[in-house]
Amino acid sequence: MAILKLEDDTILTDINDISQELAPLNIQLNRWAVGNDSQLRSLLAQDSLDEDKKEQVLKALDGYFNQLQQIAGYQSRDLIVLHPRVPNLDELMVKFDQIHTHADDEVRYVIDGEAIFGFVRPDGSQVELTVQKEEYINVPAGTEHWFHLTPARRIKAVRYFISTEGWVPQYTDKEIRLHRALA
């Protein structure tokens, strides 16, 4: 269940209320079922996945990828697996834990765990959205945002790309004002 925290500490959990708050940013938030395939569930229960296991997970979920290819021209996808034992996890996360934009959409389908996307809204206010298992988010190109893990420091997410070149962060040098007490 997605959780949206506003600057005044209001917490929203209803997806319709959250979508309304994020509407000025054109952010898409949906629930996508992972399904009940026992092999997929077994893979998702593992902390680490080698490249072959990641490909098995991706293939099991390719129905969503095929839809995105047809509707929006997505060309590739990968699976990011982060957990506390990933070497240099803090160093990996630093580049996303600052306000930035991308030339392409940032699209994630969280299939296990959770993370937080923060956003700068058109009026300058900031919000933080915790996305959790079975939630899909599309952050449009040019949207000022940041990304960090929750205290659980665990996520498995499919990333969808039109091109990976457009996904390089462009930092805005704005300061994050929200404290990180969600999760």
The pLDDT value recorded for residue 183 is 41
User: Is 100 assigned to a binding site?
Assistant: yes
Report the 3 state secondary structure along the chain: CCEEEECCCCEECCHHHHHHHHHHHCCEEEECCCCCCHHHHHHHCCCCCCHHHHHHHHHHCHHHHHHHHHHHCCCEEEEEEECCCCCCHHHHHHCCCCCEECCCCEEEEEEEEEEEEEEECCCCCEEEEEEECCEEEEECCCCCEEEEECCCCCEEEEEEECCHHHHCCEECCCCCCCCCCCC
User: Is 144 assigned to a binding site?
Assistant: no
Domain range annotation of the chain? 3-171
The pLDDT value recorded for residue 180 is 53
User: What pLDDT tens digit does each residue of the chain (183 aa) get?
Assistant: 899 999 999 999 999 999 999 999 999 999 999 999 999 999 999 999 999 999 999 999 999 999 999 999 999 999 999 999 999 999 989 888 999 999 999 999 999 999 999 999 999 999 999 999 999 999 999 999 999 999 999 999 999 998 877 678 899 989 998 755 444
User: Is 179 assigned to a binding site?
Assistant: no
User: Is 148 assigned to a binding site?
Assistant: no
pTM: 0.92
- CATH code: domain 3-171 is 2.60.120.10
The pLDDT value recorded for residue 179 is 59
